[in-house]
């Protein structure tokens, strides 16, 4: 994706350099886009991934070596964290997140997906993100969001004996159960006159 217009905070450019400020803006955008993707939430934080080559395609006015230097400076200054989180060990694509010092969203409440053993994928703990009322209302306008949220909050976001894995699926099930017609409980009397 080639970017035609670049914006960044001048305070970041003054402190870390223009290239680093541009990359901070790119990471902030990636984190905002990935905020609600469960696959991009690790260790209670939002992450985005990109290769240096992809960064260079996005910002063609910067060379790969300039990008590497800017990312290294941000890492050394503890502005970003970099990890390889892909399930495939052959994939060495870096994942990036901002530290709380510079715009990371508040830590996400981590909930173990299975109480008896940790659910792990390539040694990365999957996290469940408790939805906000606003999210529930936006994604499911026909849902009584407050009732749904209160119900599962009171149960610790458990479904039976297991931690909830997907609140969207739970909301769809909640709606489908509430749409079922009520079973008739009227009792028909037998006609004894015949």
pLDDT at position 83 is 86
Q: How far apart are CA 175 and CA 71, in angstroms?
A: 46
Q: Are residues 68 and 139 in the same domain?
A: no
Q: Are 152 and 164 in contact (CB under 8 A)?
A: yes
Residue 31 lies in a domain: yes
Q: What's the helix, strand, coil split of the chain in %, to 5? A: 40, 15, 45
Residue 164 lies in a domain: yes
Q: Are residues 81 and 161 in the same domain?
A: no
| Alpha-carbon 138 to chain mean position | 16
Residue 123 lies in a domain: no
Q: Give the pLDDT confidence of 47-78 residue by residue, as tens digits.
A: 888 888 998 998 899 999 999 999 999 988 88
Domain total for the chain? 2
48: tokens are 């985005």
Task: Enumerate the β-bridge partners of residue 132.
Answer: none
Q: Are residues 79 and 136 in the same domain?
A: no
38: tokens are 């469960």
Residue 149 lies in a domain: yes
Q: How far apart are CA 125 and CA 64, in angstroms?
A: 32
Q: Are residues 19 and 81 in the same domain?
A: yes
Q: Give the pLDDT confidence of 83-140 residue by residue, as tens digits.
A: 888 778 788 888 888 886 655 543 333 333 333 333 333 344 456 788 888 888 888 8
Residue 156's domain comprises 130-179
């Amino acid at each position: 994706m080639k970017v035609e217009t670049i914006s960044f905070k001048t305070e970041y450019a003054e402190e870390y350099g223009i290239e680093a400020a541009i990359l901070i803006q790119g990471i902030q955008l990636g984190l905002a886009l990935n905020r609600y993707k469960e696959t991009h939430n690790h260790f209670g934080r939002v992450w985005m991934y990109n290769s240096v080559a992809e960064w260079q395609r996005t910002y063609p006015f910067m060379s790969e070596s300039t990008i590497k230097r800017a990312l290294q400076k941000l890492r050394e200054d503890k502005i970003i964290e970099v990890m390889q989180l892909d399930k495939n060990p052959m994939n060495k694509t870096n994942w990036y997140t901002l530290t709380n010092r510079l715009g990371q969203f508040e830590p996400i409440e981590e909930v173990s997906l299975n109480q008896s053993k940790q659910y792990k994928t390539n040694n990365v703990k999957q996290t469940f993100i408790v939805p906000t009322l606003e999210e529930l209302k936006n994604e499911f306008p026909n849902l009584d969001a407050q009732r749904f949220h209160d119900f599962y909050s009171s149960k610790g976001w458990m479904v039976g004996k297991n931690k909830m894995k997907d609140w969207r699926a739970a909301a769809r099930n909640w709606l489908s159960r509430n749409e079922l017609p009520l079973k008739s409980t009227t009792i028909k009397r037998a006609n004894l006159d015949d």
